[in-house]
Structure 1
């Protein structure tokens, strides 16, 4: 039997403990819902766009995609550098730049394809690029097959499909997968058509093929212009040249539920007198100091031979790196 004084103490202790739990839960709610730039389900619809950088990429063709090495503050961007047509594979190049878009160096991938989207992995201080690579004969003729590869970024190098530096992930052989990587959480997304598959990056490296999440992207977003992944959330960029049939749109999806989370139209350049404007590339940046997130999108404008390749940002903490 519990005496009255002890019962009062237990009741008081329980009440204090319950109150602490309530406060803790309220604090968690505030951190994950009311502070959208720190939440796993980052709400990128609440801020306005700012021009972040004009990219000094190497070749005159348009930007295709970009990723950021958040540890070293470098931007890596892809471009088509050769498009012969007539059944011959395209080649693409990669430019490395400082965080403000100034060119540092570049490398080339012969007959590799379009360079639609790449993943960047920082492993033990080395930068590895993940990409889909077209399979061709010795003259670059397409064979209707692909392989998923990664390779160390090396300035000035020119690789082809037989270069020993290319490491193939053979479990994905024969399917056109377009990668993007969340390096800090060791996750990789492979997009095939309107399906996106989330994997543990380290499992993929050792030959496994066990998706931990999937998203079936709606057909109205089919004009693909890039994707990014952060904390199990897919960010999908879509829209066609000059917004002729498809608006510029960023949509996020939860890989674990398949739920569409947030969507915003990208109004940059809308209504302006531009002969050419196209969305190209997307990245979700996480500030290594504050952990705040920023949506970054690529926009290309200007005439042939004079393209302007710009990155715009929402929420980016400019004071840290500019």
Structure 2
């Protein structure tokens, strides 16, 4: 696949100030089940942080919450993926086996409303020995999976054929690359990524802050695109999408493939304890 979404394309508002999610925290990441028309959203759950406790929300594509489940000791929820299997099973991919709040491995499981999963309930995969901060993303268009991770504290990506990965054959990755700079300012935090074909899309930025990131400046959020085969940064653009939101923290990026490929970006808003989320997208232009 060589189609690439131009990050300079104007963003379109899709979902606006939706929620609340099950927990009062911001969204961390999200992914789509396009077969069944569902949106899954991860957020830090009760006693999260260092413990790595997450809450997974299941929503319809209008942002209405349909259910939730808890993932104890899984990680921070920087990214996630949805796999639609040939037999109709929907698999949710997340990080797991948290140490210091971030996963040392990845796993997949089925959604079950109000269930509580621990690392003892799932099969932990550690495809990159010695790595930390493992975070998966699934591309059903190319049937690939990526795992962002850290080696020696430095972030990298590794990409596999999804069927091989499911079979636990990690011996022949399709790509293995250092993560290019996600922002022009190295101090700005990474806020998520999504794999789509031959490209990885990254999101970075912080919430509004009167001292360093005032609302009048329309925020410091940046989207970037990486070629998985060359490892090069293809494009990086600042986005002012949703600049009128209060708080406005960029959180999570995902691909929605129908009716046409869209790069979707999450934005948290609202007061602490009553957070909402909005999603903007950049369409594929041909």
Spell out the pairing of 1:220-235 with structure 2 (5 A cutoff): 221=183, 223-235=189-201
Q: Which runs of 5+ in 2 are unaligned?
A: 214-218
Q: How does 1:243-282 map to 2 (within 5 A)?
A: 244=212, 247-270=220-243, 272=244, 274=246, 276-282=247-253
Count of residues paired in the alignment: 266
Q: Aligned with 1:202: secondary structure? A: helix
Q: What are structure 1's unaligned runs of at least 5 residues? A: 1-31, 33-38, 137-141, 317-322
Aligned counterparts, 1:166-177, within 5 A? 166-172=122-128, 174-176=130-132, 177=134
User: Would the aligned equivalents of 1:40 and 1:231 in 2 still touch at CA under 8 Å?
Assistant: yes
**C-alpha separation in 2, matches of 1:40 and 1:46:** 14
**1:139-158 mapped onto 2 (5 Å cutoff):** 146-158=104-116
- The answer to whether the 8 Å contact 1:148/1:173 transfers is no
Indicate how the Cα distance of structure 1 residues 285 and 84 shifts in structure 2: closer, same or farther if over 3 A, else same. Answer: closer
Cα pair distance change 1:269/1:135, threshold 3 Å:
closer
Contact conserved, 2:54 with 2:77, CA < 8 A, in 1? yes
Distance in 1, matches of 2:78 and 2:61, equals 21
Report the counterpart of residue 263 of structure 2 in structure 1: 295
Structure 1 residue 189 and structure 2 residue 146: aligned?
A: yes
Alignment partner, residue 162 of structure 1? 120
Work out whether 1:201 is the aligned partner of 2:162: yes
Which structure dedicates a bigger proportion of its chain to strand?
A: 2
Bigger fraction of residues in helix: 1
Within 1, Cα distance between the matches of 2:51 and 2:245?
35
Question: How does the TM-score come out when normalised to structure 1?
Answer: 0.75
1:129 partnered with 2:92: yes
Secondary structure of residue in 2 paired with 1:82: coil
Q: Is the 8 A contact 1:169 1:204 kept in 2?
A: no
Displacement after TM superposition at 1:143 (Å): 10
Q: Secondary structure at the match of 1:218?
A: coil
Is the 8 Å Cα contact of residues 28 and 77 (structure 2) preserved in structure 1?
yes
- How far apart are 1:100 and its partner, in Å? 0.7
Change (3 A) 1:195 1:144: closer
Q: Which structure is richer in relative contact order (CA contacts within 8 A, separation 6 or more)?
A: 2
The secondary structure found in structure 1 opposite 2:208 is: helix
